[in-house]
Amino acid sequence: MTRSKKWLIGSIITLVALGLVVYPNRESIVLNTLSFALKQLRPVGAFQEIAWSTGTDPQGRSPAKRLPNIVLILADDLGWNDLTFGGGGVAGGTVPTPNIDSIARQGVNFTNGYAANGTCAPSRAAIMSGRYGTRFGFEFTPTPPGMMQLAGLVPRDPRRLREIIPIRDAESVFYDDMGMPASEITLAELLADAGYHTAHIGKWHLGRANGMGAHMQGFDESLLMFSGLYLPQDHPDVVNSKQEFDPIDRFLWAAMDFAVSFNGGEPFAPDRYLTDYFTAQAVAVIEANRDRPFFLYLAHWAAHTPLQATREDYE
C-alpha cells in the first residue's frame, strides 16, 4: 500500500471517528461555542451604583394638588391562577403571593383581561402605544441571532409542549433593530408632556436601536434588563432549574448573562438577585421623586425562564 493511500485511509478513519463523537454532541458543542463567543463580544462590567435624578414639581404645586404618581408593574409569564388570590396559587398554594394579593384586595381586581397579542413583545408594544402591533408591523417576538436555528438542532423530545415554527422574515432583521417604531407615541411620552418624570426598570423588548430604546421613547431614565440571568449560573447562592426538554430554555442558558445597562450605556452586573435588584431600584426611584409627579414602569423578568432562585428562598 502506498503512502498516499495510507494517508487517505487514515484521514477517512479520523473523520469518521470525529463524526461519531461530534454528531451526537453537536448541540452541546454549538451552544458552548455560542456562550464563549458572546462573552467575548459583549463583556459585562462590574457593578455600578445608579444615581436616579431628583427634582421638584415643574409647576410648583403642593403635594395635595400634585398629579397622582403612577407605578405600572408588569410580570412576565405569570398566570392569574399562579396567584393565591386568583384561585389557590401555583404548586397547590405552596408559593403564596401575599403582597400581590393585598393590592387586589385593597384596590380593583379586573377578572376579564385581554392581551392585544398572544406573544410577548407585541403585547408589550400595545401596552406602551395603545395600538395593535399589526398596525405598525410589529407582529413577532424578537429573538437573538441564531436562536431559532439552534433550537432546531435539539432532538425531538416527547415532553416538548409545542413545535418550533421559525419566522423567516423576522429572523432577517438584526435583533436590536426589531421593535416598535420610534414614530409610535408611547404612554411615557404622553405622561412626560403632562408634567411627569418618567422612569423604566427591567424588561423592554421593543428594540434598542434607531430610536426604539426606552430612554429614546419617552423615558427620562431607563435601567434595562440587558440579558436574562437572575444570578450567574455558578453563584454560590443560586439554585438553577434547567428544562432540558425545551430547546429555547437550552439556548437561554447558553446565551444569557447577568447584566443590566443604564440609559443605553455599557452592560454591568447587578449586586443581587435580579428581581430583588429591580425592586430595590424601583424603591429608589420612588424616593428620588417624592417631590414631583412620576411614572414608573417596572417590568419584571420574573417568572420567565431561565428558572433560578436564591438558595435561601429555595430552602
> Could you read off the pLDDT of 49-67 as tens digits, one per residue?
999 999 998 888 888 889 9
| 200 assigned to active site | no
Tell me the pLDDT tens digit for each residue of 19-45: 545 555 666 666 667 666 667 778 899
**What's the pLDDT at 252?**
85
- Choice among 120, 197, 300, 304 that is catalytic: 120
- Choice among 197, 200, 205, 215 that is catalytic: 205
Stated as kind and residue range, the H or E segment containing 264 is none
Answer CATH for 42-314 from 1.20.1250.20, 3.20.20.10, 3.30.2320.50, 3.40.720.10: 3.40.720.10
Whole-structure pTM value: 0.85
The alpha carbon of 85 is separated from its chain's Cα centroid by a whole number of angstroms, namely: 25
Domain segments of the chain as ranges: 42-314
The full DSSP string for 166-199 is --HHHHTS-GGG-S--TTSPPHHHHHHHTT-EEE
| 120 assigned to active site | yes
Q: In the beta sheet, which residues pair with residue 299? A: 74, 202
Q: Which range has highest mean pLDDT (16-20, 58-62, 302-306)?
A: 302-306
Distance between CA atoms of residues 274 and 271, nearest Å: 8
**Cβ neighbours of 31 (radius 10 Å):** 18
Kindly indicate the confidence band of residue 267, based on its pLDDT and cuts at 50, 70 and 90.
Answer: very high
Distance between CA atoms of residues 196 and 68, nearest Å: 9
Q: Looking at 66-217, which runs of residues are DSSP E strands? A: 70-74, 197-202
